[in-house]
Amino acid sequence: MGAVTVITLGCRLNASESEVMRKHAVASGVETVIVNTCAVTGEAERQGRQAIRRARRQHPNARLIVTGCSVQIDPRRYAEMPEVDQVLGNTEKMQPQSFLNETARVRVNDIGSVRETAGHLVAGFEGRTRAFLEVQQGCDHACTFCIIPKGRGPSRSVPMGEIVAQARRLVAGGAAELVLTGVDLTAYGADLPGKPTLGQMVRRLLAGVPELRRLRLSSLDPVEIDEELWRLLAEEERLMPHLHLSIQAGDDLVLKRMKRRHSRTDALAVAERARRLRPGIALGADLIAGFPTESEAMFENTARLVEEAGLTFLHVFPYSSRPGTPAARMPQVPHALRKERAERLRQLGAAALARHLAARVGGSASVLAETSTKGHAEDFSPVLFETEAPAGAILTARVLACDGRHLIARPAT
């Protein structure tokens, strides 16, 4: 049986889908390298092409398959690369038959025509303890900076019963924690009969899988968090006290030009409500630095939001101009200034994380031990163990110190 190597760029959804592709490729019995590309920034695309060339050098005799959002958007570009044997779109990469030798070299459909999720749920493990469960695909919004709807297609949701059934299988297989993933997670259910909300689905999942120890959510749109999800955050201990918000900017004019659906005030209100309902919650956010037309004053509004909203975990991106998006036609901020502003935001994020971790020193934490030496606390604080812990266990640990990026903790004996 041939070895299979999967190189994944981009989001958790890509990581989850890579595990499904790995299984399909293993079943084919052919030595295979899969590069699962990302299109969120120009830099991500550059890294993808670099990974393809490097993979061919390292695996000269393997079948090299390229897929992912960048491929879905521009398949010809990848089909013309001499290193590539096969090009698969985001729908085709989930189909077992795509990995058979006799299939066409280029299989990329019109993603905009897709109206259903894959015929199976997408689930992938991170190590042996945490599993990603895809419950939603695609996006119906039109943010001016974003190319991803062209790579993922319209929003479509997995029915609740299928989610519960797959969650049971994952927990039975050893997952102590599930992470629900999607392109636009808070859009969940709008395309299903009865239009169930994300909160309603989460409640059914937790009720239907009582043996599930922990549940996390991937990125949420601040103005689409439904009332049922807020109630669960307040009431359900198995829903972890950690939210990651798709905020993008802290200036109202920039948000308007991005065609986001929230204001600065909305972002602050969501952060305040989360802390009120779940004291000790940790908040993360996606932020873009150097969006077209962004002045220094506009940037400072975003920078101040980090402290005012109490953000702890930041994902910072310098704005990347994407052909075909409205933002690409707006007056651009110089590249060097985008990078400089992104670095300033990252420094603010590092300082916020250090403060958050320092405040936990001397207390205790419930930690999922992903290995014998490290894990994550309930609020997603990274933890390093002073002494070895049983991998896969959820244990109580005494927080002894922090190093600015991790808690240093001793597992209870």
Mean pLDDT by 10 residues, the chain (413 residues): 85 80 86 90 87 94 92 90 92 85 77 55 63 91 89 90 94 93 94 96 98 96 96 97 98 98 98 97 97 98 98 95 90 97 98 97 96 96 95 94 96 82
Rounded distance, CA 35 to CA 58, Å?
13
Kindly state whether residues 248 and 339 are assigned to the same domain: yes
Phi, psi (rounded to 5 degrees) for 263: -110, 175
Same domain, 199 and 232: yes
Q: What is the pLDDT of residue 12?
A: 74
Q: Which residue from 172, 171, 169, 201 is spatially nearest to 185, judged by alpha carbons?
A: 201
Residues 10 and 105 in one domain: yes
116 shares a domain with 213? yes
What is the structure's pLDDT at 120?
Answer: 46
Q: What is the pLDDT of residues 175-205, one digit of tens each?
A: 999 999 999 999 999 999 999 999 999 999 9
Pair (119, 162) in one structural domain: yes
| Per-residue pLDDT tens digits for 266-277 | 999 999 999 999
Residue 392, by phi and psi: left (phi above 0), alpha (psi -120 to 50) or beta? left
pLDDT number for residue 112: 63
Q: Which pLDDT tens digit goes with each residue over 81-108?
A: 999 999 999 888 888 888 876 667 888 8
Residues 382 and 268 in one domain: no
CATH code (residue 79): 3.40.50.12160
**The CATH number of the domain where 219 resides is what?**
3.30.750.210
If asked whether residues 246 and 204 sit together in one domain, one would say no
Predicted pLDDT at 60:
93
Q: What angle do CA 306, 311, 312 make, to 5 degrees?
A: 125
Domain boundary among 240, 265, 280: 240
How far from chain centre, in Å, is Cα 84? 27
Same domain, 155 and 182: yes
Average pLDDT, the chain: 91
Tally of structural domains, the chain: 4
Q: Using CA atoms, how far apart are residues 4 and 21, in angstroms rounded to an integer?
A: 10
Whether the CB-CB separation of 16 and 124 falls below 8 Å is answered with yes
Kindly state whether residues 226 and 131 are assigned to the same domain.
yes
From 57, 89, 109, the end of a domain falls on 109
Give yes or no: residues 288 and 345 share one domain. Answer: yes
Residue 145: domain span:
111-240
Tell me, yes or no, whether 263 and 330 share the same domain: yes
Which among 61, 88, 109 is the end of a domain?
A: 109
Helices 296-308 & 335-358, crossing angle to 10 degrees?
10
Whether 129 and 202 share a structural domain: yes
Q: Where are the alpha helices (DSSP H) in 108-159?
A: 148-152
